[in-house]
A and B are shown apart, each in its own frame.
Chain A
Amino acid sequence: MSTDERIDYTLKINGKPYKVENAFYSENLLHVLRYRLGLTGTKYGCEHGQCGACTVHIDGKAVCSCMELAACAVGCEITTIEGYNNQDGTLNRLQESFVKHAALQCGYCTPGFIMSAAKFIEENPNCTEDQVREGMDGNLCRCTGYNRIIEAIKEAAEVRK
């Protein structure tokens, strides 16, 4: 690859600027987050949009960071699980609800589920259980069998009301 294929840019992640230097133009955001910026809370699963482990928010929308060209996110507000977490290390309502309902086993899918569910609840404050099930169609979990996750999200949505 030629040096032409490398670029420098700045991403705004969790409210802070992050310089990305000498990166290939074709690198996806998931890769840049994890391996260039050390933000490893966003998980690497399938790398083609099916598992949702890599879900982040870009300009207020839940999207898969694995299918996003990192450089195309210049000028956008990016939020990862690190930015969504309470900064004092305590758990927020949605996360507490996941703990209460034992909605995780290995936990690998959890950051993606949390990021996806957070937006879903925000966009659908009066959701029914069926809507939660349909709304979480972009995230896979190999451990829990989903019911506990759905319960956790449903309860978090109800508490929020």
Chain B
Amino acid sequence: MIIQSPFLAVVESINEALDTKQKRPSSRFISGGTEVIADQNLGLLEPEGYISLRRIKELHTIEPKSDGLYIGAGVVVAQLLDDKAMAQVILLKKAARAFGTRQVRNRATVGGNIASGLPDRTLLPCLLALEATVHLQSAKGKRSLPIKDFLIEPGKTAISKDEILTGTTVPYVKGFQEYYMVGPRNAQFFVTACLALVVDEANKNVRLGLGNAGPTAMRAKEAEEYANNAIDWKKQTVDETIAIKFGEIAAENCSPVSDAAASAAYRRHAIKVMSKRILLRAFERKQ
């Protein structure tokens, strides 16, 4: 352990982190701190002790495995941009470019992004579209669950107080992958709305993840189902009327909020337009 004081522990292994958490249940895990310390500075949270996970080396690996690319919770977003292995999951690399700022990307972790469970987080719609698995560990043992079961409501996830998120496994999917967002500006701000499309060529289906379009990041199931039937998989084509309908169905079935950044109607409109464009883009290359 690098620091072991009553309110701050800087640990070097998962076991040390879990041990410390058991002894001090009110302490909060902190990785990059780009959410926690920013909130602390703004007075949005009153710290009751921190357990810093940053020095846990075993959380920092990106490793190609047979069932997909394993990405440790401590991997920072800058690594998603730079690591060679990310070429196998191009969606996360693309989304990483649209994430925060250079300084933020050097610190913000994949684990912190997933664990926050907030609907506007960049990686969540991507991981939903890729059907990633989330790995958790507590003193009692390990468990893994699909990201869709992990996200419960805004800021609430399936993680329990004594668990650490250790990483995620992202299946390799052959086919088009892209991330679109709208926001006040490209950098620095949270997305107003975003989406991620994955075309699974092997299984002939499309998967659309939506961000900030409902209480949690979500899949646009109805739109997917429509597209899966409407797409001419043999010719690999989509005409514009199908794409328009795809966007309309995605927009009808999401439930965005109105807030200071945008109205619900604007978000719905953004989802409609972006869904249409991303589907056309996915298939235009083939024509």
Contacts and interface: CB of A to CB of B under 8 A. Distances in A.
A23 to B, nearest CB: 10
Chain A interface mostly helix, strand, loop or mixed?
mixed
B188 interface: yes
Interface residues of A, number: 33
A26 B50 contact: yes
A63 B50 CA distance: 20
Given A48-B38, A69-B52, A138-B187, A62 B6 contact: no
Interface stretch (B29-37, B136-144, B191-199): B29-37
Nearest to B44: A48
A69 B37 CA distance: 7
Contact of A69 (B50, B101, B106): B50
B79 to A, nearest CB: 11
A138 B103 contact: yes
A9 B33 contact: no
Given A62-B106, A67-B38, A69-B37, A52 B101 contact: yes
B186 A137 contact: yes
Nearest to A28: B37
Given A48-B42, A74-B3, A69 B102 contact: no
Interface string A40-61: 0000000111101001000001
B186 A4 contact: no
Interface of chain B, main secondary structure: loop
Contact of B102 (A9, A67, A137): A137
A101 to B, nearest CB: 21
B33 A67 contact: yes
A145 interface: no
Interface in B1-51: 2-3, 5-8, 10, 30, 32-34, 37-38, 40-42, 47, 49-50
Contacts of B8: 7, 25-26, 69, 71-72
Interface residues of B, number: 32
A47 B41 contact: yes
Given A69-B50, A138-B102, A47 B42 contact: yes
A48 B106 CA distance: 15
B107 interface: yes
Given A67-B34, A69-B33, A138 B50 contact: no
A110 interface: no
B148 interface: no
B41 A4 contact: no
Contact of B6 (A4, A26, A72, A135): A4
20 contacts: A4-B5, A7-B3, A25-B50, A28-B37, A47-B41, A49-B100, A49-B103, A49-B104, A52-B103, A62-B106, A63-B103, A64-B103, A64-B107, A69-B52, A71-B8, A72-B33, A138-B101, A138-B104, A138-B188, A139-B101
Interface of A: 4-5, 7, 9, 25-26, 28, 47-50, 52, 55, 61-64, 66-69, 71-72, 74-75, 116, 120, 134-139
Interface of B: 2-3, 5-8, 10, 30, 32-34, 37-38, 40-42, 47, 49-50, 52, 54, 78, 100-104, 106-107, 186-188
Given A48-B42, A69-B50, 7 more contacts: A4-B7, A7-B3, A25-B8, A28-B40, A49-B103, A63-B107, A138-B103
